[in-house]
Structure 1
């Protein structure tokens, strides 16, 4: 076998895979949460209450939950290239079709179908990365991939605000209709590109030498020897897997509490122009993009996961609480939202080092999907909870406090219960 420099080799892999996967995730996340910006126009045009909006935003995750485990198992069978392409093309088309939502029922149906279409994308990529990277390198790689969430916020906020303002009225369409259309098309194009660009795994990568392939296969095989290859029946009966799903649920409560309500929280401080709101929402995501990569790198260097995840969750909870206290003052609210977003997003790449470090084989495909699908039910609960509370009380404050409490509870569970992630 040729003499291989691991850092050089993994740098080569990262340059090939991460920018493309990152771009796909930006498109995915933007199509998932751009409804938060569309709300600023469609709510008035279609007379949706905050409860209707919260239910429509959240019902995405019911379809996501129902189809995620089957989707990940299918990807393991048919290969990442074809399956990820299928996911991206179908979700891009359905996201664009949201421009035709005219009633609460059509809004709910399209959001549900969007969840069905996208099911399997995120856990599929997490699984795909385990084909290439051993556990010791995984948190920082997942952080680079997941920084797509933050970049989607940095780019998507100003872009969404500009689209809604610049195209409003063109061809008889409202700004929010143009938003769904113009942000859905790139996902379709990226899905087609996936068929030509992505490889199913190490062996099919023509851009690697035979020596490099053998080195990587040996590294992944050695890492896999420390993971458990459980029968699916035992996996679904595993208390550790369900505990991780609960922790993830509590963390996701925070993620979508911010993602779906950030534009409205900024508007509540007194900013009314949608483009200015878009520019301001980019600030918390910009801070988060840096924070999550730094936190993941520190976690990889130290080899410690639980305390890193818990501290990030506690900081996110504190930021959410502070943003409600200063909810009518733009600068302090924006600083608090930056702390909240940085803390919340930093939990995720560190968290995903736990299940990917303990599951292998079919158990990895199903376990990652199970944890992600159950956890993402919080994507339904969080926006619906905040919307219902806002309709009932006239303020989102109590709902945001509940989301902050969920984050803090997730941090406590990680510290108190997730003791031995290498064992199920």
Structure 2
């Protein structure tokens, strides 16, 4: 399978095209499966709510808080986890994350009170902390900056696929296994969807390599090609004044502004993911199986948008406007869905537009951090962005739950998320341009024959 098009490489770069596609074929399918499992374990609580609320007495506000408290635990441990990944190696740390979170996710089946729900969601966040930014960092060990938008888009398909697969799967499990062995359908769902993470962690320990220099499945020439390209890119960034220390990431205004944009886009993504089953139910769909199938539609649209926008962004070496426009489009979709909540067809179309804008914007935006930072600064900067972004994952589900309980209508929560996405898009547009040599590290490996001026990556 061809993951990176030949047009991304110059005529004399046949070896580079082949080796990067080989790396992509080795890593991306496996990492994509892990992310599908990860994201599904975060948001399947949205489906559990359809039965769990009655069984344990869970209010809308309590659910919104419990769904979001996951991110408080996640954020507390995110930066230390990413620094630990850099120190101990990807295979050990990613395996550790997955094994522990899988066991805690399955343990959600034993929740019987709101307090237990809060505690288990918090612990799940602590256990999973670092997986998402850790994989982003891990991909920078293999691919140069100019290819990362497409690579991130493929990895972020895990969010879309979890929605496409997870909705029908969760609905089917809850419908089919309800009452089996005296357990509720939502209990079976947590068990069946939680254990694959533990299995995946064991496989990851034996399957992943810490970087190209240790990859025995690459020959000497291939390893040298990849390592030399990354070393040269690193030297260019340092020569251009890019930070490589932990404090460089903390002091860089670009990182903080990117984090705000990530907050808005990720908050919108999680807000929709957690509440999509309930939103679809409020449209008049009470059958769990049909609900699961309909919730897959917006994420199917999002998966297509991510690939198309990611390729377009890489082809033009432009990130800022791609991300901002996606944020504005996502906000428009939320407003459309809220305004036409009485019409299930238009509302579902609006949700599809919203998910597409949020996911495509995320895929492009995450190509940026490693172009302005290197070394420990890159690890810290990526984790900092993910930490602040995941606070959006706490804020948006809580706001939706609180507004829905207060007004008995979900559209005002959708409008609040739309406003946040507009702010994220505007912030993206005011990010200071990089230094005069800003694009050199990110674009130096562009195909030589590519016509026209190369746009700044910011």
Superposed CA deviations along residues 186-240 of structure 1, whole A, max 9, x for unmatched, are 1111111001100011111110000110010011112222332332234323322
Give the one of 115, 118, 121 matched to 2:131: 121
Q: Hey, what does 1:66 align to over in structure 2?
A: 76
Q: Hey, what does 1:294 align to over in structure 2?
A: 308
How large is the Cα RMSD of the aligned pairs?
A: 1.4
Give the one of 135, 157, 180 matched to 2:190: 180
- 1:420 positional shift: 2.7
Q: Hey, what does 1:331 align to over in structure 2?
A: 345
1:265-276 matches, within 5 Å, as: 265-276=279-290
Q: Hey, what does 2:212 align to over in structure 1?
A: 202
CA contact (8 A) 1:270 1:328 kept: no
Q: Hey, what does 1:162 align to over in structure 2?
A: 172
Superposed CA deviations along residues 387-406 of structure 1, whole A, max 9, x for unmatched, are 01111111111111010110
- Identify the range of structure 1 (228-237 vs 108-117) with the bigger mean alpha-carbon deviation: 228-237
Q: Hey, what does 1:102 align to over in structure 2?
A: 112
Q: Distance in 1 between matches of 2:87 and 2:61?
A: 40
Deviating above 3 A after TM superposition, structure 1's stretches of 4 or more consecutive aligned residues are 421-424
CA contact (8 A) 1:318 1:404 kept: yes
CA contact (8 A) 2:254 2:431 kept: no
CA contact (8 A) 2:245 2:375 kept: no
CA contact (8 A) 1:306 1:418 kept: no
- 1:344 positional shift: 0.8
TM-score relative to the length of structure 2: 0.90
Consecutive unaligned residues in structure 2, runs of 5 or more: 1-12, 440-457
CA contact (8 A) 1:65 1:374 kept: yes
- 1:271 positional shift: 0.5
Give the one of 428, 434, 437 matched to 1:420: 434
CA contact (8 A) 2:105 2:190 kept: yes
CA contact (8 A) 1:51 1:388 kept: yes
Q: Distance in 2 between matches of 1:203 and 1:230?
A: 21
Equivalenced residue count is: 422
Superposed CA deviations along residues 160-193 of structure 1, whole A, max 9, x for unmatched, are 0000000000011101111110000111111110
Is the partner of 2:368 in helix, strand or coil? helix
CA contact (8 A) 1:268 1:328 kept: no
Q: Distance in 1 between matches of 2:76 and 2:388?
A: 9
Give the one of 405, 417, 427 matched to 1:403: 417
Matched, 1:147 2:193: no
- Identify the range of structure 1 (326-335 vs 154-163) with the bigger mean alpha-carbon deviation: 326-335
Q: Distance in 2 between matches of 1:419 and 1:293?
A: 26
Matched, 1:38 2:52: no
CA contact (8 A) 1:299 1:305 kept: yes
Q: Distance in 1 between matches of 2:192 and 2:92?
A: 24
Matched, 1:245 2:255: no
Consecutive unaligned residues in structure 1, runs of 5 or more: none
Q: Hey, what does 2:334 align to over in structure 1?
A: 320
TM-score relative to the length of structure 1: 0.97
Superposed CA deviations along residues 82-107 of structure 1, whole A, max 9, x for unmatched, are 10000001111000001111111100
